[in-house]
Structure formats: C-alpha cells, structure tokens
Amino acid sequence: MIQDVNHPIIETHQLRRRYGRGEAAMDGLAGVDLTIRRGELVALMGPSGSGKSTLMQILGLLDRPTSGSYYLDGTDVSRLTTAEQAELRGRRLGFVFQGIYLLPRLNAIRNVELPMVYARFPASERKHRAADSLSRVGLAELANRRPNQLSGGQAQRVAIARAVAPGPDLLLADEPTGALDRASGREVLSLFQHLNDDMGLTIVVVTHDPLVGRHARRIVELEDGHVISDNIVNEAERIVADHPLEVVK
C-alpha cells in the first residue's frame, strides 16, 4: 500500500457534538481541530468522558457532529447522504472494538469474510483477501476454528484481520486491548505496529492506558471535549516490538 505521508486523511475543524437540549445540554466535543496524515499511528487518550470515543464515532461515520466540519481524505463527509456514508464506511474504514463481536457459528475465515459480503465483494476475492488477512495476523493455521476455540488474543487478531481484509485506508480501534490480559494486549499492539510499518496503514487507537499510547507514534490527549495536547512520542520512550511477527505466530 503506497501512501503519501504528507496528505491528510483526517481533517476536522471546530468539530462539536452536543447531547440534549437547553440547560441539560452537554458537549461531547467542544470544537476539535485535528489533522492526521496518511501512515500515522495515533493514540487518542483521555479519561472517561473526555470525548475520545465521541470523536472516534464521528471519525468512523457512526455519528454526525452537531457543527463543524470533517474531511475524510479530502471529502467533506457532512455533505454525503446516510447511504453514501455507509458505502464509504464499508469500503474505506476498518474497525476494531473492545468487544470482539465474532459470530460464534462461523469459523475464523468466514468471520473475516463477513464485512466483504455486505460490501458486495466477489466471492473469489473475499476468500483470497480473508486468507491473506489471516496470514498477516499470524493465524492462517486457525482459519477453520470457531471463536470458542480461540484464546482472547487470537479472537482479537481475527477481528483485526476482519477489519483490514477489505483494504481500508484507515483503521479505527476503540480500546482494542481493554478485554485482554497484558500479554495478549502486547501482541495486538505489536500487530498494529506491523500493519503501520509494513503496510503503511493509518491507525487511530482510542485508549485510556498510557502503556498503549506509548506504542503509538503520536498521542492526542482530550479533556472535556477539547484537545489539550498533541505530541509526537519520543523514540526513547516508545515501546516498539523488535520482532512483531514472531509475537503473533
């Protein structure tokens, strides 16, 4: 995947999200300006209620801002219809959540194929992409196992394979290690680094865990709906897996 690292894939300008009306109204986002360029690995951090998950929902076209603008790869998505946003979401974005959401009756490779079924990929292409994606996350040999036959870390890696199989431009991960033990969480974070380094995939991770943030290249911190800091992670402090593929075999 060839990316122009100087080209913004995400641009927001005075992005606001208000919940409720009148005196009971609350701002989930209170004027967020944010630019993320292609090929970045960014952690959105902050305590509960800071606005990081609200921002993730809007970036993922799962919610609309109350005001402000959001450009995805140069497209003003606020001008798109709900159907156009759904099409864009299915083709251009990948999602990984704390809740892994694999379908228990389907084996790993069928779970990876599922979003491509909804996106109307041809059957032969779905199968090829699903097999390749499972191989990328080190689980080719477990393609026929069902979710109850996988460890938590393996199941999350299947979920990552599912997210990247359609070839998205942007991967959004919301607390992806929150339900995992530390060892499995490190495997997942090492995998994100591999996808970012080797594929050039742009990744945005929402987390409250500073240890998770230190696997990123940049940390954007939110508080009360505002961006309060935006810093490149010092390479001396960044946690980098020496052999990320060995971790996930």
Instruction: Identify which of 34, 33, 16, 36 has the alpha carbon closest to the alpha carbon of residue 201.
Output: 36
The whole-number pLDDT of residue 246 equals 43
| pLDDT tens sequence across 168-180 | 999 999 999 998 9
% of the chain exceeding 70 in pLDDT:
94
User: What span, in angstroms and rounded, lies between the C-alpha atoms of 34 and 55?
Assistant: 10
User: What span, in angstroms and rounded, lies between the C-alpha atoms of 139 and 247?
Assistant: 12
- Confidence band (pLDDT; 50, 70, 90) for 5? low
The rounded Cα 121 to chain-centroid distance in angstroms is 21
| pLDDT tens sequence across 16-41 | 999 988 777 888 999 999 999 999 99
- Confidence band (pLDDT; 50, 70, 90) for 6? low
Contacts of 242 (CB under 8 A, 6+ apart): none
| pLDDT tens sequence across 137-148 | 999 999 999 999
Residue 52, token pair as written in the block:
């990081």
- Confidence band (pLDDT; 50, 70, 90) for 78? confident
Neighbours of 38 (CB within 10 A): 20
| pLDDT tens sequence across 216-234 | 999 999 999 999 999 999 8
Which sign does the torsion angle of CA 160, 162, 168, 173 carry? negative
| pLDDT tens sequence across 34-72 | 999 999 999 999 999 999 999 999 999 999 999 999 999
The whole-number pLDDT of residue 240 equals 81
